Structure 1
Amino acid sequence: MKHLKTYASVLTLAVASIGSAAQATDLIYGSYLSPEHGNNKFGMERFMEEAKAVSEGSLSFQFIPGGALVGAKTTLEGIRDGIVDGGIVVSLYHASDLPYNSVITNLTAFGGDAAVVAGATNETTLLNCPQCMEEWANWNVKHLGAYSTSMYKLLCAKEVTSIEDIQGWRIRAAGATGRWVNHLGATPVNIPVTDTYEALQRGQVECTVGSLSWLKTFSLGDVAKYVYDLPSGAYFGGSIANINTNRWESLSDIEKKAIIAAAPKAVSGATVMGYIGDDVEYAETGAAADGITINTPSEEEMAMVDEYRKTEADLVIKMAQDAGIEGAEEIVNAFLANLEKWEGIIAEIGHDPAKYEEALQREIYSKLDM
């Protein structure tokens, strides 16, 4: 433990103190992602800076990225046990531990505009799904916000010009995206995204399902030179704004209000500035510089995507009901209604981070109780 503390002191990203350090409540947040990943750079860091500012220096943070304290599959337990006070929880690695939240995560086929999906996900989870919040509480986590990735594509070590090319291939796909990969005629391989580079490099998989920006943020552009621009869902439901419940209960009302006020910064930063912004930037400049070839699906293949999506809502409901999850249909219907609502909101405000944060505050966070 001593060497971890030493390493943490080197990696600590301390948000500047206001007032006496002795009076500040110091919180430790961990991330399995590199410091430059959008979830960290735009999401976690903006969240901590905002909470610090709103609390007028009563809160301070140590941020320890790169998996030094918690990994992709251990952050949930790490928050529960107080190893960290908060961090990025990838809920799809905990489907059996978070079954109600997984009902929403399993709707991956409805991934699209990440700002729309993140808005719908957070409104559903925080306001329409008390069972979801109870699950987080059972893990000693006060959940306050999830992000959405941008639309997934196929990022491959070999060129793909049609779905016929990938028949029998091994494709890295976690959670519900595995169903999609099976539907395409390939074999899903469930490994953490942080292990994908090595898997592609060694030929353990031919492709991964993922966001375009992963070619930069996970350096996959070194080993995956081909992109097949086939819409392949998205991941949403990962907790990026959260805090250990015991720590939450120890905070003053001012500090709690500051944490809630900062949550939209985490959601907007990771989703809009991170995934959407990074995808646009990489498409405009990075792909050509890295020698990436991007191929476009046929109209018939795009129509197949639409047909697949039509069956997914009913399938997710049935899977949940078969697993004994009561109220699954209500959760799915709430998500789909919120998806339509947020499509209208984003049509008006676009992807302006400040306007998006205002919408999140107005539609969701102003309605939360401490």
Structure 2
Amino acid sequence: MASSRVRSLSVLAIVSVSLLAASCASPSTGEDGGVESMELTVAVPAAQGAISIAATEAMAAYVEEATEGKVTFEFFYSDSLLPNQEAPQGVASGIADVGFIGTPTLFAGDLPASVWMGDAASYGELTGVAGFVQDSLTYDEMMMNNDTIRGEVEAMGLTPIAAMSTGQWGYWCKQPVPDLAAAQGLSAVVPGEPYASELSALGFEPGHIPAIEVYEAMERGVVDCHSNPIYIYDIFSMYDVAPNIYVPQLSPGTMGLIPVIRTDLWESFSPELKEIFADSSRAALAGYIEAYLDAWKTITTKAADSGAAILQTAPEVDEILADVQEQRRDAMGGSAPASVENPEQFLTEYREVAQRWQDAMEEAGVVPQSGMSPVDEAAYFSDVDWQQLLEQLPAPK
């Protein structure tokens, strides 16, 4: 992004963060009601080009082009402006104009319905990469249109621009785990639910340590396996310590990777600029999907070069996972947070949105044949022009 710059904060800048906040865009509208020139500061947790912030970068690129360069973005990468856990509060208070909610589970106290909704993703009939695309489209529409889900974010002083799935989950191990017998008693680092329960049902012994410590723990033999969204495998370069990669039908990724703008700034935008940001939701989704598919290509290539491999899981693995997910879905009505006044109505809405997106994908011809391997499915989807396709699909109502 030509007009976006990477900047590392010096000690002096950190001490003087209030001066930086003062330099953020001030709420105001152009005299003609159109788009005034402004530079927005963006705080993101990952390095430039990382898949997890691809949606935010794509959103910014779209807005810059649509405003003919009147609105530009200055990115502060790698938690250099705001730590990930403090990003929502920091954006709402004006330290940055635009931020990023990686996953609602980090802010469960503020986003209980969004966390609860994550279990609904396994209602979808599509799995693999197709399921990931369907879930992303469904999450985005629920975030934009559902009063409860959107209201939680707005109550934090933030306006959401898009939402998507954190992606397919898998696990990778030091040794081959071809069947259930081989999984019994193996230690597995898992960030949390529902994946801890699912791996436990397969016979693993789940536990948690910070992701940044997993490589060394596996290298020392303290940990046998690690479970996370598949692109995390490449981010932490696990090829040599965990060469056995499995992508069974674990629960779909939760909603996350949500670009947000502080609400007082959003409310100052002209109708024209608000419409441009709303339209950027499609660009954000397309950018993330393309980055996700590129990650699959990278993993496939590096795995082949390093001796790692994406291996087939035994059929009984997916059967057990399906049973666990069905039990959790059946219990959703009784586990809804107080903010969800009518759980059955909410879940009906979710299923209808998910089905509508499945129908749209099938009509557009982007649902692959069943039985494809994850690698083949990712290659199939790589031929799709996602920007063009998503522009043709119906926008959230």
Task: Give your verdict on TM over 0.5.
Answer: yes
**Larger displacement relative to structure 2 (113-122 or 175-184):** 175-184
Deviation at 1:340, TM superposition (A): 1.9
Equivalent position of 1:363 in the other structure:
395
Equivalent position of 2:7 in the other structure:
none
Structure 1 gap segments, 5+ residues each? 10-22
Equivalent position of 1:150 in the other structure:
167
In structure 2, the CA distance between the partners of 1:247 and 1:198, relative to structure 1 (3 Å rule), is farther
CA deviation digits over 1:141-184, x for unaligned, max 9?
A: 10121121332111223332223333332332334222222322
**Larger displacement relative to structure 2 (225-234 or 107-116):** 107-116
The sequence identity of aligned pairs, in percent, is: 21
Confirm or deny: 8 A CA contact 1:264 1:357 kept in the other structure: yes
Greater helix content: 1
Counterpart AA for 1:334: E
Task: Say if 2:107 is the partner of 1:94.
Answer: yes
Structure 1: distance between partners of 2:61 and 2:81: 21
Equivalent position of 1:15 in the other structure:
none
What aligned pairs does 1:162-311 form with structure 2 within 5 A after superposition? 162-168=179-185, 169-190=187-208, 193-194=211-212, 196-201=214-219, 203=221, 205-270=223-288, 272-283=289-300, 285-311=301-327
Say which one has the larger Rg: 2
Equivalent position of 1:38 in the other structure:
51
Deviation at 1:116, TM superposition (A): 0.7
Counterpart AA for 1:226: N
CA deviation digits over 1:94-140, x for unaligned, max 9?
A: 1222011112223354564211111111222322x201111111101
Equivalent position of 2:31 in the other structure:
none
Structure 2: distance between partners of 1:78 and 1:144: 17
Find the residue that maps to 1:52 and give its secondary structure. helix
Deviation at 1:82, TM superposition (A): 2.2
Match of 1:333 among 348, 356, 363: 348
Equivalent position of 2:176 in the other structure:
159
In structure 2, the CA distance between the partners of 1:261 and 1:145, relative to structure 1 (3 Å rule), is same
Confirm or deny: 8 A CA contact 1:103 1:328 kept in the other structure: no
**Larger displacement relative to structure 2 (44-53 or 152-161):** 152-161
Equivalent position of 2:370 in the other structure:
none
**Larger displacement relative to structure 2 (203-212 or 341-350):** 203-212
Structure 1: distance between partners of 2:93 and 2:188: 36
Structure 1: distance between partners of 2:232 and 2:179: 22
**Larger displacement relative to structure 2 (234-243 or 52-61):** 234-243
Counterpart AA for 2:314: S
Find the residue that maps to 1:106 and give its secondary structure. helix
Number of equivalenced pairs: 345
Task: Say if 2:85 is the partner of 1:70.
Answer: no
Q: CA RMSD in A?
A: 2.7
Structure 2 gap segments, 5+ residues each? 1-10, 21-35, 367-380
**Larger displacement relative to structure 2 (70-79 or 89-98):** 70-79
